[in-house]
Structure 1
Amino acid sequence: MASSCLVLLMLTALVASSSASTEWSTCNRMVDGPFLAKLARGACIASCIVQNCGSGDCENRGGRPTCVCNRCGNGGSTRCSEMLLLYLIILFVTFLVVRQWRMRQNLPKGPTPLPLIGNLPQIVYASMKTGGMAKGIQTFQKTYGKVFTLWLGPIPSVHIADYELAQEVMVKKGTKYADRYDVELFNIMRENRGVIVSNGQYWQEHRRFALHTLRNFGLGRNIMEQKIMDEFHKRFDDLEENRPKTGGKVEAHYLLDLLVGSIINQLLFSERFGKDKEEEFSEIKRMLSSTENIGVIEMGIPMWLMKTRFLKWRYDKIAAPTRRVLDFVGKHIDNKIQEVDKGNIELTEEGNDFVEAYLWRMKKDQKDGVEGSFDLFGLKVDLLDLWLAGQETTSTTLMWAVILLLNNPEVQEQVREELLKITENGNRDLSLNDKPVTPILNATIVEVQRLASILPVNLWRINKEDTVIDGQPVCAGVMLNAEISLIMADENNFKEPEKFNPSRYLNNEASDKHVVPFGLGKRACLGEAMARAELYLILGNILLRYRLKTEGTPPPAVSKNPHGIINHPHNCQFRRHASCRNSCVSDDLYKSVTHQGEKEVPHLTSLADMLCNRIVPWNLIEYFHSSKMNCQERDESCINAFKVAIQLGGSLGDIFKDQKITANVCRNILKCIE
């Protein structure tokens, strides 16, 4: 209120200065332009009135216009230009205060924002105090209810934290809230292209094309399951081959990233990341990880401010990886076009991969004379978005699953027991057709997605017209979002939401409908069906084969970057401990097979695991049963391995199925076991 009065006083003084007879030549020379000179003099007069000195004026002191009060003579050290700057700042701040006050009358309640910086100090404090962005925002939910407003700088954002209300707004009225808010940082090098940040007809065309193309590739059908399992087998065959070198230790993050990345890359480029291309994948991963370093608060900073010399270093750090990724996919597109030009690839509507289908669409539009939105730059951005959405979210969720199961071994054992039962002790792979009979695995995956909540803050939508949400007005043009991280931590729907408890869905304490990791409404993840298939098949078949353990204390189930746009868990190494596909094999019995004393022997571990999985490594059998060795000289652990195999298989015929074993070897094995 005081600022408003001061501005009115300044404007009054400006009018008074216009009729004064003082010579303005000095101010005109020293301050740029007669209008600014009058404004500077008006600022001086207003300042003197505030000081109860009657009035004041600009005088020439030392060759510069200086504000001097007529009565007290103060202000001799203050230039008129400085007074002008001061009052322009006051005018600007007053404008922001009045604007905020007027907008707050038409927005849901929330913490009181400060001019220009909004609620950023409160958000930062709450996030630091609670240990994460999602938990920080949750503190405002507890104070202001299921819909509230936070100001990111001068920009208001409305947050919905209730499932039923989110369904009403984002699903039933989804058309009104389908457009993304223009977050300038996300549009760096994108030019409003792609399927994540684009809007209007462009977004509709490209989302529809992506969905149609992925369905043609078998998304949600058996062919997709086959592609996932083919890559799964190839990746884990490589692990078993390297088992003697690694001692059974697995770098979880790299394994899961490479597995999921190879699946998505086959859909996009018809190429998997074999041993010869693992370094290429690592480079892509580094670039994509760099694009995720945007903080939630940074998304509210205007681009003009990001490009100032104070923040340009940060702008460059964010923009550079996006450029590198676009250049990278551009090279792959060029290679594909060259193959088409050479006649090695024939473009069809179905295509062998996303790039071929897109190039066919471009060619069709050109042939039909249609000036469509499909061009090479649009293809680059679509590929970038599909990579981010298809690889990073799924691999991160799987990593969270590993961490949570390492910290909750009793849940892991319940899942393994269920899987072994329905697959006849692991004699076949887990299939998507098994979903109806795996309630424990299903509940575990749902709980992993809920607790991981890998997007602490969703990408905002824009409210295009004045509306009312939960009885509170929401004016047009503001950011709007259903916060799935808050919805999935709602104490009204989840008792003790911070705990990992899959059984809550089995005993009807909670409903999985309230777990919405893929979003709501028209902007829900377009790869949801594929992601669900990957999570079920990959996690289920890992647990079917292996009991996961880690040396020492498991890593904590907390985010390593709680203030970023994606919640990444800590990395870990796990050991494929007791991978016999039967939970009746005790840890002590397994240890007797794989250890000499307290020391684990890698080749014995490999032998035991292969025997338990009905896989006999012929070279190891030849080694342990060569003519140079007699029964007494053979390692006791090897004998125990065959004993375990017989317990599980029932007969040597089952164990050595499809293997060509000489009668002499069989006699020696039987003699040792007896």
Structure 2
Amino acid sequence: MTTIFLLVCISCLLLFATWRSISQKKKQPPGPITLPIIGNIFQLNLWNLPESLKKLSKKYGPVFTVYLGPQKVVVLYGYDVVKEALIDQADDFSGRGNLPLLKKIFQGTGIVTSNGETWKQLRRFALTTLRDFGMGRKTIEKRIQEEAHFLVERIRDTQERPFNPGNFLAHAVSNIICSIIFGDRFDYEDKKFRTLIELINENNKLQSSIQTQEKGNGHSEFTVETLSRTTLDLFFAGTGTTSTTLRHGILILQKYPEIVEKIQKEIDCVIGQDRSPCMADRSQMPYTDAVVHEIQRFIDFIPLNVPHTVIKDTKLRDYFIPKDTMIFPTLTSVLHDSKEFPNPEKFDPGHFLNANGSFKKSDYFMPFSAGKRICAGEGLARMELFIFLTAILQNFTLKPVVDHKDIDISPLVSTLANIPRPYEVSFLPR
């Protein structure tokens, strides 16, 4: 009798476990039929993954599943669901997804790709250290103003000859993060500095760039490897993203000389020609501020966001998402939302302006992501974009090498980042 009772109990437990598993599986986000090993490769254009996910969202809704090969990914498409995940359920979605390319570059040891306690301690350390070194304070604004002066003089030395400004912008932006991390800027022609920029562009290792001291505690997260990798994270992110945004922005402005003219009128009215732009000017320059925001919105630099994971079994809306599932909280679905930004594929500063011409904030403006994993350098990047772009247009007018109507401002679309097309431009002194 006892044996029969035990068998009945075990059978009931097995049936319950099976029912629970099936029930949870049914509640998981829908998606296209998946093939073994190759996943959904036939439903996805890997050269333009954001567009493929946009099409799938129309069929499966704002929360759906795709397989990149054997890797399961839950895609979040649209402002409402991205906000629910990254802000309303910030802790649950605070893990970092593990894409092979990111793993190879960052090795999971810096603040970009680490997880758990390592990530918490490194991020807290990085934010505190950056603040101590002047980020978000008047001191760092002064450094940006000084670097903007060097950039303007370097552009002036081109004597109106057409050239690709990419390196100039990268060197200027990089010097800001160098002054924070290494304590000093570099001359633009410094061989070591130029080599350093080349290493960033090639995604090579920079672990020898900083010396730290390991604590005696064997469980400490502050090892030479993690701190060196964190320095690389800051250096890489602090150079590439902002300089690429500026490079794309200058390309866009060549196509719209009427926008440049409005910016320059605002500059002449608020700043004039006798002093450098500062952040206090931004509140008095709503049109320029709107243009800077629209550049970031329009270029949609990281369309899929850097991947997240859920750190525990999680429920989002009516769906069950198992622990460690990779998440794509797509930024392109937020930045190009047609209800918030009418005609989102069109570059229009009016997306950030009220009817009276004042600046209009938008909760949909998420180029730096949102929640626990929001970019640590957001404040620095905002200052750099405004001051550098304003300083350039304060001193120069842009002259394209082709008719402005023929300029192609669409990005070279890739899965991880949208990169501007190569171009040359002349800077004419005002």
Residue 247 to residue 443, structure 1, CA distance change in 2 (3 Å): closer
Q: How does 1:71-110 map to 2 (within 5 A)?
A: 105-110=26-31
Match of 1:442 in 2: 289
Indicate conservation of the 8 Å contact 1:252/1:571, yes or no: no
Counterpart contact for 2:106–2:112, Cα < 8 Å: no
Q: Can you give the 5+ residue segments of structure 2 that lack an aligned partner in the other structure? A: 1-21
Judged with a 3 Å threshold, the aligned counterparts in structure 2 of structure 1 residues 399 and 421 are, in CA distance, closer, same or farther, namely: same
What letter is aligned with 1:518? F
How far off is 1:221 after superposition? 1.2
Matched AA of 2:142: Q
**Match for residue 211 of structure 1?**
127
TM superposition shift of 1:455: 0.8
Superimposed CA distance per residue, residues 290-320 of structure 1 (whole angstroms, 9 cap, x where no aligned partner) = 33xxxxxxxxxxxxxxxxxxxxxxxxxxxxx
TM-score after normalising by structure 1: 0.57
Matched, 1:261 2:174: yes
How many angstroms does 1:123 deviate by? Answer: 0.8
1:335-376 residue CA offsets vs partner (Å, 9 max, x unmatched): xx6xxxxxxxxxxxxxxxxxxxxx3xx37x45xx68522222
Number of the residue aligned with 2:37: 116
Report the 3-state secondary structure (helix = DSSP H, G, I; strand = E; otherwise coil) of the residue aligned with 1:552: coil
Q: Please give the alpha-carbon distance, in whole angstroms, between the structure 1 residues aligned to 2:304 and 2:201.
A: 18
CA–CA distance in structure 1, aligned partners of residues 74 and 25 of structure 2: 11
Q: 2:379 aligns with which of 517, 523, 529?
A: 529
SS at match of 2:101: helix
Give how far 1:467 is off: 3.1
- The secondary structure found in structure 1 opposite 2:327 is strand
Give the equivalent residue in structure 1 for 2:273: 426
Give yes or no for the alignment of 1:391 onto 2:239: yes
Among 130, 135, 138, the alignment partner of 2:51 is 135
Counterpart residue identity of residue 261, structure 1: S
Q: Are the counterparts in 2 of residues 466 and 473 from structure 1 also a CA contact under 8 Å?
A: yes
Aligned counterpart, 1:489? 336
Residues in 1 aligned to 2:155 and 2:315: alpha-carbon distance in whole angstroms? 56
The letter for the 2-side match of 1:528 is E
1:170 maps to amino acid: L
Superposed CA deviations along residues 233-271 of structure 1, whole A, max 9, x for unmatched, are 12322333x34xx44434311111111111111212123
**Contact 1:193–1:381 under 8 Å retained in 2:** yes
Alignment equivalent of 1:222, drawn from 132, 138, 162: 138
* 1-structure distance, mates of 2:148, 2:186: 12
Task: Please give the residue correspondences for 1:288-307 in structure 2 after superposition, counting only pairs within 5 Å.
Answer: 288-291=200-203
- 1:542 match: 392
The 5-angstrom pairing of residues 240-319 of structure 1 reads 240=156, 242-243=157-158, 246-277=159-190, 279-291=191-203
**Aligned partner of 2:300: which letter?**
S
Q: Distance in 1 between matches of 2:105 and 2:290?
A: 40
Amino acid at match of 1:254: N
1:570 aligns with 2:418: no
Structure with the higher helix share, 1 or 2 = 1
Kindly indicate whether residue 419 of structure 2 is the aligned counterpart of residue 507 of structure 1: no
Is the alpha carbon distance of 1:465 and 1:370 closer, same or farther for their aligned partners in structure 2, counting shifts above 3 Å?
A: closer
Distance 1:381 1:549 in 2: 41
Q: Deviations over 1:55-105 (max 9, x none)?
A: xxxxxxxxxxxxxxxxxxxxxxxxxxxxxxxxxxxxxxxxxxxxxx99863
1:559 Cα deviation after fit:
1.8
Q: Are the counterparts in 1 of residues 399 and 427 from structure 2 also a CA contact under 8 Å?
A: yes
> Which of 325, 335, 340 is matched with 1:478 structurally?
325
Q: Which has the higher contact order (CA 8 A, sep 6+)?
A: 2
Which secondary structure does the structure 2 equivalent of 1:429 belong to? coil
Shift of 1:209: 0.7
Alpha-carbon distance in 2 for matches of 1:109, 1:218: 47
Match of 2:303 in 1: 456
Root mean square deviation of aligned Cα? 2.4
Shift of 1:140: 1.4
Q: Distance in 1 between matches of 2:349 and 2:64?
A: 30
| 2:94 aligned with 1:178 | yes
The structural deviation recorded for 1:114 is 1.6
How big is the shift at 1:192? 2.6
* Cα distance, 1:552 vs structure 2: 1.5
Give the CA deviation at 1:379.
Answer: 2.3
Structure 1 residues 12-38: Cα deviation after superposition (integer angstroms, max 9, x where no partner)? xxxxxxxxxxxxxxxxxxxxxxxxxxx
Number of residue pairs the alignment of both structures matches: 405
The alignment's TM-score, normalised by the length of structure 2, stands at: 0.87
Superposition pairs of residues 370-385 of structure 1, within 5 angstroms: 372-385=220-233
Partner of 1:652: none
For the residues of structure 1 that align with 2:24 and 2:255, how far apart are their CA atoms?
47
Q: Deviations over 1:270-301 (max 9, x none)?
A: 23231441x4344333333333xxxxxxxxxx
1:558 and 2:417 are equivalent in the alignment: no
